[in-house]
Amino acid sequence: MRHCSLAFLLFVALVIPVLIGAQHQVPPPFDPDEATFASSRLKIPEPMVFDLVRPLGAPKGELEVNTLFRISEFGGHPVLQWAPEIEYTFAEGWGIEFELPVENSYLEAYKFAIQGKFAKLSTRSTLQGWQGIYEWDRAAGSPQMDLLHLFGWQINPEWSFFSMNGVRRYAAPRQDYGYLGNHTAFRRFSSRVEVGLETNTQAGPGAPVRFMAMPQILCRVGAYNIQAGAGTLTESDTRLKLAWRISREF
């Protein structure tokens, strides 16, 4: 609990100065409150469980604060996983992120990410980029690292698709490499409501394939964006998984 409290003090210390600075910035050329609805010319929503640092192509100066909540065990000992984070675009198409993954009241890790856009590979209906993630596992005392290729496609004004594919280097004691993939499809019903399906696959040597399927809804409530879903997580067995995320962009 002491580590968790210290981590939140660090998180607040990082957030407040950026929030103050954000109030004095010139508004970007896109809606500053799009957040997970996407803030680039292509309206491709972010996945919920495995989200982006910022939407690909986000303008310089965007700031988002969000928290993802997940419940993956039920019965006698439910487990609540939650992760407050702050995201900022320091240049057009380039963003950084700091996150604190917590299980119940135990701070599991410190997570840092950076993301960039491949401007020359993007077209009128697609976006491409990359994402690197460094997560220090406190219990293992070693890092987990991901390197991903990002691809977004706005099929038409209603339908969009987003794909993340890459490699994960696991923390100790495994310290081996595996495949990591996250894919989402969204249907836009209005400027405030989208419905989608997110899948996540993790596969590596010496461990069962981990697969998640999460139907979800994304909606705007006032100045906040809320995503919520219920699905299944299959590894050595299959379990029900609930998740929701609340985000606010400044």
- Tokens coding 69: 């909540």
State pTM to two decimals: 0.84
Is residue 197 within 8 Å of 185, Cβ to Cβ?
A: yes
Pick 2-249's CATH classification: 2.60.120.10, 3.40.50.970, 2.40.160.40, 3.40.50.2000: 2.40.160.40
For the chain, 250 residues long, give each residue's pLDDT as a single digit of tens. Answer: 444 444 444 444 444 443 444 444 444 444 544 545 666 678 899 999 998 999 888 889 999 999 999 998 665 678 899 999 999 999 998 999 999 999 999 999 999 999 999 988 988 899 999 999 999 999 999 999 999 999 999 999 999 999 999 999 999 888 899 999 999 999 999 989 999 999 999 998 888 999 999 999 999 998 899 999 999 999 888 889 999 999 998 8
Residues 6 or more apart whose Cβ sits within 8 Å of residue 105: 1, 4
